[in-house]
Amino acid sequence: MLNFVMGHNIRLLTKIATLRYKIGLNQQQIADRLGMSRQTVGRYLQSAYQDGVVEITIRSPLMHCSELETELESAFNLVEAIVISPPTNTEESVKDALGIAGAEFVERRVQEGDTISVSWSTTVLACAEHLQPVSCDNITVVQMNGSMDQAAFSTRAEYIVDRIAQALNAEQTTLTVPLLVDRADILESLLTDSRISAALEQAREADFAIFGVGDITKESSLYKASYMDDELLIRLQEAGAVGDICGRYFNAAGEICLPDVDERTLAIELPNLRQKRLAVAIAGMPHKTQAILGMLQGNCCNVLITDEETAISVLDGR
């Protein structure tokens, strides 16, 4: 047997590794016990790992999710990816699990003085409902797209803003105006109102954005809320639209579709999301793969929270 490994006494190295990884002592406790410096103990432990005396194995049912997170972060230059493994693959189960992950992310990442802009979506709603109280000062929550209900389907936008604001002990600003108006001049007129223009500017200047991603189908929240009708749905599909963020429709490259619709939309602009410290997209289910890919190609988010099946589909489709 070799007496030294990388210049270290193998007997002493083995003892130090045993005390650390079998007995559970920390580096300072080992140093005190063996009469050496903590830095020397650290060098022995580093050598033990580098030379194969100690092997670290991670055994977790979420290991595959962690690998997918790393791959997504690398592939799309993300600050962070979170991939959840829901208990079942039903839409409600996935949305609930995404909401839990989104809430945990907000609790971990929010900073004193943040302004958080939020869109209305079913995944952001789930995030709001799972958010626990956080002790953080001087927070503002602002809505970043219009939300006046157009149908029996409720956007629940005011509830989402209020629920997040309550959890963060924050000030709040809502935009109780239509998301999509009939003509561009109507939007121009609305923006002359100081309260509406100030709210939208506050959303643009936010440090932190949280939003969902819609697809171009009759199952989308925009269709259910009557902001998208059959005629618009067909036009969008023919124009190559794959998804929406805040009611702004984009194609597979993340570029705006149908400028005439975009100029009637009351919401922050997609390029603004690239300026955020954190632009957090909470979206899942494989049928949204193309929408998520388009968003990522357009660099509209730097944080993606999704489910395992969708993460695989997105990586396969890139």
CATH number of 63-317: 3.40.50.1360
Query: Which pLDDT score is estimated for 208?
Result: 97
Say if residue 280's pLDDT is above 70: yes
**Dist CA 98 CA 22 (whole Å):** 37
Task: Return the closest-CA partner of residue 97 out of 314, 310, 307.
Answer: 307
The answer to whether domain 4-50 and domain 63-317 are alike in fold is no
| Domain boundaries along the sequence of the chain | 4-50, 63-317
Q: How does the average pLDDT of the chain come out, rounded?
A: 91
The share of the chain scoring above pLDDT 70, in percent, equals 94
Q: Which residue has the tokens 């005396």?
A: 53
Instruction: Dump pLDDT digits (tens) for 90-132.
Output: 999 999 999 999 999 999 999 999 999 999 999 999 999 999 9
Question: What is each CA distance from 1 to 7, 52, 245, in whole angstroms?
Answer: 14, 14, 63
pLDDT of residue 1: 37
Q: What is the pLDDT of residues 152-178, one digit of tens each?
A: 667 899 999 999 999 999 999 999 899
Strand-pair partners of 4: 9
Those residues whose C-beta lies under 8 Å from the C-beta of residue 72, and which sit 6 or more positions away, are 78, 81, 83, 304, 311, 314, 315
Out of 1.10.10.10, 3.40.50.1820, 1.10.1370.30, 1.25.10.10, the CATH code matching 4-50 is: 1.10.10.10
- pLDDT of 252 over the 50 cut: yes
pTM value?
0.81
Q: How confident is the model at residue 60 (pLDDT cuts 50, 70, 90)?
A: low
**For residue 270, which of 283, 251, 289, 290 has the smallest C-alpha distance?**
251
**3-class SS of residue 275:** coil
> Residue 31: how many CA atoms within 13 Å on its side-chain side?
13
